[in-house]
């Protein structure tokens, strides 16, 4: 054996990973952070709201050596550049960035999609999709990424199929997935990979905004090939794989981590 008996292989040993959008221990971002940390990564986080500093610092305290930075506008060019510049100055270049940021107005999730306002449409796409494009562009402009770095974002099955209550977020995620493909082509010449994870439904704070969300969980458990819902730990492990050199032939893809639900016709 190449390693000591019982020693865990560290897929992200000595890699620096920036995770954008952590909120609480139930979030997918937290599941990704936990898996990345257990695989040897050094973690840097961004979060919204100075008033959340104490809560976030307590949340990430289990990840030894991690740091957190306030970013109150992930789709605002100057704010992102300012925070990314500070992160680079204090931590050096990153080996990976995880984009876990999305938002839509509550009324646009509760009403029929046809009633989506212009402001609501623009807001959902701006925060949930453009922010990822901006992340990639600023990271490139300030030379924030190491060679063979990886960008990973989070999407959902509602981008390709109609799911009641997902509404304008489905449109925003469809734009996000198209952005993944174009960014992968643009950054591939610099050996930077870009992928998305389409996770199955998980009881996160964001999911609470979707009407009748619990019924979606029930359907996935009943209909998916594995007959179970996914966990943040499982999604986190997929992210760790995509952030690691083990996936170095994969870019521009949407990887489904949904117990196989997406393959079912009924």
Q: Is the pLDDT of residue 209 over 60?
A: no
Is 74 inside any structural domain?
yes
Measured from the Cβ of residue 72, the count of other Cβ atoms closer than 10 Å reads 12
Please answer whether residues 135 and 80 qualify as being in contact, where contact means their C-beta atoms are separated by less than 8 angstroms: yes
Element (H, E) at 123: helix 118-125
Measured from the Cβ of residue 157, the count of other Cβ atoms closer than 10 Å reads 21
Is 10 inside any structural domain?
no
Catalytic member of 47, 166, 256, 261: 166
Distance CA 50, CA 69 (A): 9
Distance CA 246, CA 1 (A): 19
Q: Is the pLDDT of residue 175 over 90?
A: yes
Distance CA 213, CA 198 (A): 17
Is 220 inside any structural domain?
yes
156 in active site: yes
Catalytic member of 30, 47, 121, 156: 156
pTM assigned to the model: 0.93
Distance CA 208, CA 52 (A): 20
Confidence band of 146 (pLDDT split at 50, 70, 90): very high
pLDDT at 218: 83
Q: Which domain holds residue 54?
A: 16-256
49-63 pLDDT per residue, tens: 999 999 999 999 999
Is 72 inside any structural domain?
yes
Q: Is the pLDDT of residue 207 over 80?
A: no
212-245 pLDDT per residue, tens: 656 777 888 999 999 999 999 999 999 999 999 9
Is 134 inside any structural domain?
yes
Is 221 inside any structural domain?
yes
Measured from the Cβ of residue 9, the count of other Cβ atoms closer than 10 Å reads 11
61-80 pLDDT per residue, tens: 999 999 999 999 999 999 99
Distance CA 254, CA 70 (A): 28
**How many separate domains does the chain show?**
1
Please identify which residue in the block is written with the tokens 């997406």: 262
Is 8 inside any structural domain?
no
Please answer whether residues 124 and 108 qualify as being in contact, where contact means their C-beta atoms are separated by less than 8 angstroms: yes
30 in active site: no
Residue 103 CA from chain centroid, whole number: 13
Is 264 inside any structural domain?
no
Among the listed residues 129, 130, 259, the one whose alpha carbon sits nearest the alpha carbon of residue 199: 259
Show contacts of 50-55: CB within 8 Å, 24+ apart: 55/24
Q: Is the pLDDT of residue 5 over 50?
A: no
Strands laid side by side in the 16-20 sheet: 67-70, 42-47, 16-20, 94-99, 145-155, 193-199, 254-257
Looking at residue 40, what DSSP letter applies? T
pLDDT at 212: 60
pLDDT at 85: 98
Domain of residue 215, CATH code: 3.40.50.720
Distance CA 75, CA 67 (A): 21
Distance CA 43, CA 68 (A): 9
Half-sphere exposure for 104 (CA within 13 Å, toward CB): 29
Q: Is the pLDDT of residue 208 over 60?
A: no
Structure tokens at 155: 């999407």
Confidence band of 6 (pLDDT split at 50, 70, 90): very low
């Amino acid at each position: 054996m190449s390693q000591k008996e019982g020693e865990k292989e560290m897929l992200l040993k000595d890699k620096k990973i920036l995770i954008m959008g952590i909120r609480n221990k139930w979030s997918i971002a937290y599941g990704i952070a936990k898996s990345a940390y257990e695989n040897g990564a050094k973690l840097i986080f961004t979060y919204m709201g100075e008033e959340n500093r104490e809560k976030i610092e307590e949340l990430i305290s289990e990840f030894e050596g991690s740091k957190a930075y306030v970013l109150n506008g992930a789709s605002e060019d100057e704010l992102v550049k300012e925070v990314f510049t500070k992160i680079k100055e204090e931590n050096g270049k990153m080996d990976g960035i995880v984009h876990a940021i999305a938002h839509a107005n509550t009324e646009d999730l509760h009403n029929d999609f046809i009633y989506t306002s212009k402001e609501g449409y623009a807001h959902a796409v701006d925060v949930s999709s453009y922010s990822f494009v901006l992340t990639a562009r600023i990271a490139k402009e300030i030379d924030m990424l190491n060679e063979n770095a990886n960008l990973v974002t989070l999407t959902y099955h509602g981008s390709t199929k109609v799911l009641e209550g997902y509404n304008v977020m489905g449109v925003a995620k469809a734009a996000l997935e198209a952005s993944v493909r174009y960014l992968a082509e643009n950054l591939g010449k610099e050996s930077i990979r870009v992928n998305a994870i389409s996770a199955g439904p998980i009881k996160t704070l964001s999911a609470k905004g979707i009407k009748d969300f619990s019924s979606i969980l029930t359907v996935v458990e009943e209909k998916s090939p594995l007959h179970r819902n996914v966990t943040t730990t499982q999604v986190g492990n997929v992210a760790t794989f995509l952030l690691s050199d083990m996936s170095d032939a994969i870019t521009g893809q949407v990887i489904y981590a949904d117990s196989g639900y997406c393959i079912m016709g009924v």
